[in-house]
Structure 1
Amino acid sequence: MENNRTAADVSTLMEQVLYEVKRVVVGQDRFLERVLVAMLAQGHLLVEGVPGLAKTLTVNTLAKTVSGRFKRIQFTPDLVPADLVGTRVYNQKSGDFSTSLGPVFANLLLADEINRAPAKVQSALLEVMQERQVTIAGETYPVPRPFLVMATQNPIETEGTYPLPEAQVDRFMMKVIVGYPSDEEEFVIVQRVTGAPIDVAPVCTTDQLAALQQECRKSYVDPALIGYAVKLVAATREPARCGLPELAKYITFGASPRATINLIEGARALGFLRGRAYALPEDVSDLATDVLRHRLSLSYEALTDGIGPDAIIQQILQKVPAPARPLEHNEPRVANG
């Protein structure tokens, strides 16, 4: 039952992290849960929401709870790759070149309004997201571990923006939509912001978080659950295979195999957050919309008919049957290996 104790410990520690963050951030429960899932699963987040919804505050507060380094980059059209990853600097006194590392060398990196930077800058971020390293003048420098990129997009203004390349969008584990708070939540927000500042206490170290990430990867995933994820993703490519031929005209390209991997990694992390050493079908279905929505390339017919990716994913979830809960009756056997 060692794995079960590990899962419970992870759940307790993540609850402590969540408690500290929620002392500052009001509401946004779904968003916060997705951030913690991404941290455990070593994924990256693409966040879409209007300004003022505490996206920056959330990541900054989270970095304090895990004693990590937080950096924020405001993406603008005049940004160059060196502003992101760093560059070689000439020292006139010594006559030597030294390397000045950029802001990507952090544990939690906030790329604010990522679609305002040109493709060359976005490509520089692509390497560090995938490889966890950057190359400057032929030298390779690994970024700190753990490493999480949270990029934001503003859905209101589109002037002066550069659409993210499909290859880069696919690097993000999830795309989360952040909405407005309720009246009650907004009341509490105003009280907290206008009141005395709240000091956030560190809950764990980055080394502890890295160890938790490794434990999370040992969590059990039943083959039936992998098959379920494969069917969900395959249905975005060929919806007729799951009995939804009417969706074919709306989808130009479906999700890649990376989506299937992210579904399983995310479900495993979500199960750990919920105190389990194994994943269940509801973990996959809960994350499916966030994992798949940014990976669907929709046709003009979808645009004209007002069909969005979320609506398509919901239809697929309703049509593709989830497997039975395979671990419900044999939890001790799985926990003992």
Structure 2
Amino acid sequence: MIVVAGEALVDLVPTAEGNLAPRLGGGPYNVAVAAGRLGAPVGFLSRVSTDLFGDRLLDRLHTANVRTDLVQRGPEPTTLAVVGLGEDGSARYSFYVEGTADRQVTDPGPLPADVRAVSFGTLSLVLEPGASTYERVLWREAERGALTVLDPNIRAGLIHDPPAYRDRYDTWLAHVGLLKVSVDDARWLVDLPGDASEDEVLDVVRDWQSAGPAAVVLTRGGDGLAVLTGGGEVIRVPPTPVAVVDTIGAGDTVQGSLLAWLHEHDALSTEAVRGMDGGKWAEALAYAGAAAAITCSRAGAEPPFKRELEMT
């Protein structure tokens, strides 16, 4: 089984009429939904409110075939994210996180023995006290030999001490089997200027890989996906053409669909990820890119179901 650990929240997304419509989301939550819809055996580890939003979040997990054995419930409110959309469909966020349920998660102890991979990222590794809890799970599962997967998915407005966060991120790398990061987030994580070239970013990625990850996947926006393989090869896959409605959940869909692909190809281990050649990575990235394109073609984080991908 795959476990996705982190927050579930509600995005308030602008409509054509100028209103804000609630959409269920949160980076890790979207990852779990994407992997579940694509047929992977996946469970979700989080704390979810007992309010109406929390009930809806759990209902959607169930309809995506995501197990909720590891979901804790509490009376704290659900985190809210107000989404602003650019003309190209890109999203920016402001958050209401004080005292919310997801950051109050408690340590579940060792995960079940059949858990082969655990995915982490986004707000859950920023907001205390939950961040320290998820960090302990990361260390423990890496020590146990599970494939640990990280997407930092930076939300800079919530990181009040960037140097301290960057130092903490560096300590995670030795415990990470597969790293997925956007080019923009990579620039932020090492304080590169926004116009730093992709070659400069790849130099950073190589340093990160030498610290631990078996492979590093780069999301490149409209330029598609790339990976630095375990053998040091850079494989690039162009984007799947699509009419973009918005990009909410696109990177999360990449993460979830990669997990589903690795499961389908019996590659849910650090050793298997390290051993994947360029051809296999091209296949995996094409699959993830096609899934993300479908998500971009509709409003909010709505990853595709397996049957939709099979039709493309």
Please give the TM-score of this superposition, normalised by the length of structure 2. Answer: 0.29
Pick the structure with more helix per residue.
1
Higher RCO, 1 vs 2 (CA within 8 Å, ≥6 residues apart):
1
Please give the TM-score of this superposition, normalised by the length of structure 1. Answer: 0.27
Pick the structure with more strand per residue.
2
